[in-house]
Structure 1
Amino acid sequence: CELLNPTNCATNKIEVTVTAPAILAVKENLGPINGSTGGSTTSLIASDTLNGVQAVIGSNPGEVTLRATAPTGFTVNPTDGTVRVSAGVKAGSYDVEYTICDNNNPATNCSTATSTVV
């Protein structure tokens, strides 16, 4: 509006596009784990990023949710991303597929990787 004529105003609209932050799940090589005794690996998401910084598992905005598919004898901890290998698992390489999703956009902003446990 004009200062001298406050009833003389103009309006306009702008469009702002908001995009989801970049998310990247990165393959990890986990282990070795002794199959006779079992044990735990480091986190599946150790190298994963959300918006260019280390991804953190949680339920808050700016954090990620972890979903994983593990072979028989393996358990993925959804709160820290470690993989527990049960005692008695035969020696070999095993793939664990997992997906991390941005909590702000859980249906559309996800990344999947397959990590190997030796």
Structure 2
Amino acid sequence: MAEDRRKGRTVKKERNVERLKYSLDYLFDYYYQARKSEGRAENTLKTYKQNYAYFCEYLDMRGIIRDIRNVTAELGREYIIWLRDEKKKFSDNCNVPESVRAVGPLPKSINTRINKS
């Protein structure tokens, strides 16, 4: 019986490792730590986190699990359309008046969000 329990824990550990391997949160953290170790500026690191948060907001809103296997070219196109046509500028800043919160960031901002690395 001891072998069965050990096997069960090993299998469970392997499943957890497998799950982490595809986790967007885990992969982003790995990417972020690599960039931080390269000495990227604090503002650049802050931008990475903000851009990832926007992407997570979109995934969560759509009910898409944060798994790299769910990220496709089609999802990327839909995300860009959402940024352009639905995401409000300054939506995460409560100090900005509603009258200034227009839909869709500038194309340059969208490019930054999808290309920053």
Tell me the TM-score normalised to structure 1 length: 0.24
> Max radius of gyration: which structure?
1
| Structure of higher RCO (CA pairs closer than 8 Å, 6+ residues apart) | 1
Q: Which has the higher strand share?
A: 1
Tell me the TM-score normalised to structure 2 length: 0.25
